[in-house]
Structure 1
Amino acid sequence: MPRIAASSYLNSTPLIWSFSEGSHRHSVKLLTDTAPARCALMLARREVEAALVPVIEYQRIPELVVVPGVCVGARSRVRSVVLATRKRDIREVSSIALDTSSRTSAALIEIIFREFLRREPRLTPAEPDLAAMLQSHDAALLIGDPAMTFPRDDLRVYDLAELWREHTGLGFVFAMWMAGEEDA
């Protein structure tokens, strides 16, 4: 029975429902993990045949095939990938704590700041705990359920898909189903 991995985040639910509750639930072994980065690691180690992984991993993991037609993405706002800060303007941010669950979003933060805002903030991986992240950084990148559920009091919250759209006019893909070439 093929093994597949996906995060259990709310934004993944439509992409795994058939495997967890629907007609394919007996045809695969579904491993849900809360961290997309962990799903990528499992696929890279070939512990699973396919996984819903951060799109940046297509460049990093050799011999992958993209499963077409489905993704975690957005044309404008995604609401599950955000930068939170107490600064009044995003251009004032000089340090960012990056959610360790993230890979594509961490790369997107670098692109947004370097290419669009002409800034080079200090980037530090951190566990997705907003209070702890903001104790030592100007801003925090959060993804998945933690990004949708934290209190927004006294914070400016930037949706990364929306920032991408403002600067490029395009939607953004955060994660896709991928499989090893030998398993596709």
Structure 2
Amino acid sequence: MSLHVGEIAYTNTLPFFFELDRSSLEQHGICITQNVPAHINHMLASGELQAAAISSFSYGKNEKDYVVLPDLCVASAGMVHSLLLFSKVPINKLEGESVALTTSSETTVHLLKLVLKRFYQVTPCYKQEKPDLANMLTSHTAALLIGDDAIRERHADVPYVYDLGQLWYEWTGLPMTYALFAVRRDALESKAEEINVLHQSLRKSYLRTAADGYRQINRYLERKGMASLSFWDMYFEALLHQPTSKTEQGLLYYFQLCYEEGFLEREVPTLRKWRPTTSVIKYKQ
């Protein structure tokens, strides 16, 4: 039986996957499936996957069933450049207005709701829409896009564009963690060796891509034509891929606010973290 792993199909997680030797991982019984966050979140929760990069909110919803793989995250202390609210009016004028939400991720949707209600004291009317900015703004006052969808539209001719990572940091002084890696607790014993290999591989991929200042990734993304090399330099410079005490503090505060607002059924006072088994496989890529 294989270890089925979910990969978020967004650029911000690419350092963990860019240098993976996928054929070698398959030989170790590790199969990787790629999709948008919402689908990966659902697949891990349903048991179709045993490990995955998931939205932070999805961990909060299912924390009794998951453990976190350490030393891996997607966070920022300020601008993130890929979680953008596009609005026809200033953000503090959105009371009662219609805001279109992306269907792609739960973390950012709830982050936006927290920012608007707790920080700006406004409560719009929300509606989920497919991530198409032009269509969203045809019938809504504002629209939320995330990931590559947001990057593609970052220069759209819209009066007001807000970076949610920046707004969160300005109000809390804490980093925001958008994604982390989780493993189902019911797979920990039966898939111990595969989980060890997976963790080592993800970590090595990140360290290799970061060691050259993300130059290889930046050139690869530039060739795809979504943005310039200078943008990708700025983009990865802003991201945090290694958790710290501050990123954990920020994430737990996010969970606390989500619980207080009724978005989460249970409090999440701490992160349950995976620890390698004593018989760690020395995996060489």
1:110-141 CA distance string (max 9 Å, x none): 10011000001111111101011111111111
Which contiguous aligned blocks of 4+ residues in structure 1 show a shift greater than 6 angstroms?
A: none
Q: TM-score scaled by structure 2?
A: 0.61
Shift, 1:166, TM fit: 0.6
The percent identity for this pair of structures is 33
Shift, 1:59, TM fit: 2.2
Q: Distance in 1 between matches of 2:18 and 2:49?
A: 18
Shift, 1:155, TM fit: 3.5
1:76 match: secondary structure: coil
RMSD: 1.7
Residues 133 and 143 in structure 2, CA contact (< 8 A), matched pair in contact too: yes
Partner in structure 2 of residue 116 of structure 1: 119
1:44 match: secondary structure: helix
Q: Which of 48, 73, 76 is equivalent to 1:74?
A: 76
In the alignment, is residue 136 of structure 1 matched against residue 139 of structure 2? yes
1:134-163 CA distance string (max 9 Å, x none): 111111110110010114223321111100
Residues 19 and 30 in structure 1, CA contact (< 8 A), matched pair in contact too: no
Shift, 1:25, TM fit: 6.0
The code of the aligned residue for 1:132 comes to: N
Q: Distance in 1 between matches of 2:131 and 2:186?
A: 34
The code of the aligned residue for 2:37 comes to: P
Q: Which of 168, 174, 181 is equivalent to 2:178?
A: 174
In the alignment, is residue 92 of structure 1 matched against residue 93 of structure 2? yes
In the alignment, is residue 39 of structure 1 matched against residue 43 of structure 2? no
1:24-78 CA distance string (max 9 Å, x none): 4643211011x10110000011101111111011221241111111111111111
The code of the aligned residue for 1:32 comes to: Q
Q: Which of 54, 59, 63 is equivalent to 2:65?
A: 63
Counterparts in 2 of 1:26 and 1:117: CA distance versus 1, 3 Å: farther
The code of the aligned residue for 1:146 comes to: D
Q: Distance in 2 between matches of 1:165 and 1:124?
A: 26
Kindly indicate which of the two structures has a greater share of residues assigned to strand. 1
Residues 77 and 165 in structure 2, CA contact (< 8 A), matched pair in contact too: yes
Q: Distance in 2 between matches of 1:139 and 1:119?
A: 13
The code of the aligned residue for 1:136 comes to: S
Q: Distance in 1 between matches of 2:88 and 2:121?
A: 20
In the alignment, is residue 127 of structure 1 matched against residue 98 of structure 2? no
1:120 match: secondary structure: coil
For the pair shown, the structure with the greater C-alpha radius of gyration is 2
Farther off after superposition, 51-60 or 163-172: 51-60
> Across the two proteins, how many residue pairs are aligned to each other?
182
Q: Which of 157, 162, 182 is equivalent to 1:153?
A: 157
Q: Distance in 1 between matches of 2:141 and 2:51?
A: 37
Shift, 1:85, TM fit: 1.2
Shift, 1:21, TM fit: 5.4
> Gaps spanning 5+ residues in structure 2: where?
189-285
Q: TM-score scaled by structure 1?
A: 0.92
Q: Distance in 1 between matches of 2:26 and 2:12?
A: 19
Counterparts in 2 of 1:43 and 1:68: CA distance versus 1, 3 Å: same
Kindly indicate which of the two structures has a greater share of residues assigned to helix. 2
Residues 100 and 127 in structure 1, CA contact (< 8 A), matched pair in contact too: yes
Shift, 1:95, TM fit: 2.0
> Gaps spanning 5+ residues in structure 1: where?
none
